[in-house]
Structure 1
Amino acid sequence: MPDEPAAGAPDPGVISLDPRTLRGLAHPLRIRLLAALREYGPATASGLAGRLGESSGATSYHLRQLAAYGFVEEDPGRGTARERWWKAAHSGTRFNAAGFLAHADPEVRAAIGLLGREVAATHAAELETWLATVGDWPEEWRRSFDLSDFALRLTPAGARALREELHAVVERYRTRQDAEPETAGDTAEAGETAHVRVHLHTFPRAAD
């Protein structure tokens, strides 16, 4: 749940949420639909229904709602008169979580809470899927995964600096991937690529 950048030109590939678009996204199925389009690419409502275990009527309705708020758009190169193809309009989402949590409108506060819980649930489900299927992956991938946690004593400024440094590391790998999509890893270990999920959670805990 990244905050808005303090300065600099906006990234055209990232949508910045305002209260209106936050409320438009804050629905469990819409969040899952948008995530699927971003990760797997353009799809139809029926294709997404099969992937997510939902009815095509539900996915079709919520795709239209996502389009109304600017999160997805039709893919004219794939669509037909019988069925629309949809694609994500942006590669990522950015928002000021702290600002929304302190917003005067209770609907905005509820929406950011729902969005946060859905993201957390998605992360947990993805990890459960990996742990259930890890034995099906080649040894190279079984040796590459990580399941770590760390307890640090930090100030709020220190926690923010840590988060920004970790984001910068991920962005460096993303940039390498965009430049050389088939050899995004070290050239000595280059091989087939896969979708790799990196979850980052930083938060304080109350003292005992």
Structure 2
Amino acid sequence: MAADNTPAPTDRLGASALKAFTHPLRMALLSALQEGPATATMLARRLGESSGQTSYHLRQLERHGLVEDDPAHVGGRERWWRAVGFTVDGGAMLADPATTTNAQDLVAFAVADQARTLGEWAARLGTDHARRGQAALSATLDLTEEEAVDLVTRGQRLLDEVSAEAEARAAAGATGDRRRVRVYFNVLPLPAPGTPGADT
């Protein structure tokens, strides 16, 4: 997920929440909210939908604990929403016939969303805003399944800590020349040599 003021992940997405989430508009709404809190009207304009549609689907996301009221905007005429962090056991969801299709939809959306975000960033490379804090880290490693899981766990722990620190600074009213950043952390198994899809 994105590294921003979204609360650090506190729960693992269950099967019923996954099924509710993997609706194209709901996934788009959550992706948009990871860029910052917004109202249903603002999201409708951004996504080219009616405010009635965005309001309905935001309430469905709220029912499953995926969005919540933004505490920085209370008492106004329209509700402000923010995303709630969560984790997904992708392997288990893909292996379970009851959730395989939904898990595949989520993976496809995540890949497309990353590609869109990276493409937009690349188009802005000539600006100071795009260059600030940029980093592209990658490595190809030989790991056991347990070691790969440990890498994911350690990466998630670090991201949770940084997210919680950012949220605490925002709650304390900290100022400074801060910019929103998007962090992707992928650990992907590669095909074994000699299998279809492997490099030759």
Q: Normalization by structure 2: what TM-score?
A: 0.76
Matches within 5 A, 1:1-208: 14-41=10-37, 43-73=38-68, 77-80=74-77, 84-88=78-82, 91-105=84-98, 108-138=99-129, 142=131, 144-181=133-170, 192-206=177-191, 207=193, 208=198
Taking only the aligned residue pairs, the percentage that are identical comes to 33
Return closer, same or farther for 1:99/1:178 CA change in 2, 3 Å cut-off. same
Answer whether contact 1:24 1:65 (CA < 8 A) is retained. Answer: yes
Cross-structure match for 1:187: none
Instruction: Please give the per-residue CA displacement for 1:144-185, whole angstroms capped at 9, x wherever unaligned.
Output: 312232211111111112222222332333343344459xxx
Q: Which ranges of structure 2 fall in alignment gaps of 5 or more residues?
A: 2-6
Return closer, same or farther for 1:176/1:28 CA change in 2, 3 Å cut-off. same
Return closer, same or farther for 1:78/1:53 CA change in 2, 3 Å cut-off. farther
Answer whether contact 2:65 2:84 (CA < 8 A) is retained. Answer: no
Q: Normalization by structure 1: what TM-score?
A: 0.74
- Opposite residue 163 of structure 1, the aligned amino acid is V
CA distance in 2, matches of 1:144, 1:129: 16
Answer whether contact 2:39 2:80 (CA < 8 A) is retained. Answer: yes
SS of the residue 2:86 aligns to: strand
CA distance in 1, matches of 2:19, 2:29: 15
- Opposite residue 145 of structure 2, the aligned amino acid is P
Answer whether contact 1:33 1:63 (CA < 8 A) is retained. Answer: yes
Alignment RMSD, CA only? 2.9
CA distance in 2, matches of 1:64, 1:26: 15
SS of the residue 2:158 aligns to: helix
Cross-structure match for 2:4: none
Shift of 1:128: 0.8
SS of the residue 2:178 aligns to: coil
CA distance in 2, matches of 1:145, 1:22: 32
CA distance in 2, matches of 1:136, 1:54: 31
Shift of 1:96: 2.0
Return closer, same or farther for 1:148/1:72 CA change in 2, 3 Å cut-off. closer
CA distance in 2, matches of 1:193, 1:16: 29
Answer whether contact 1:27 1:115 (CA < 8 A) is retained. Answer: no
Answer whether contact 2:9 2:84 (CA < 8 A) is retained. Answer: yes
Number of aligned residue pairs: 183
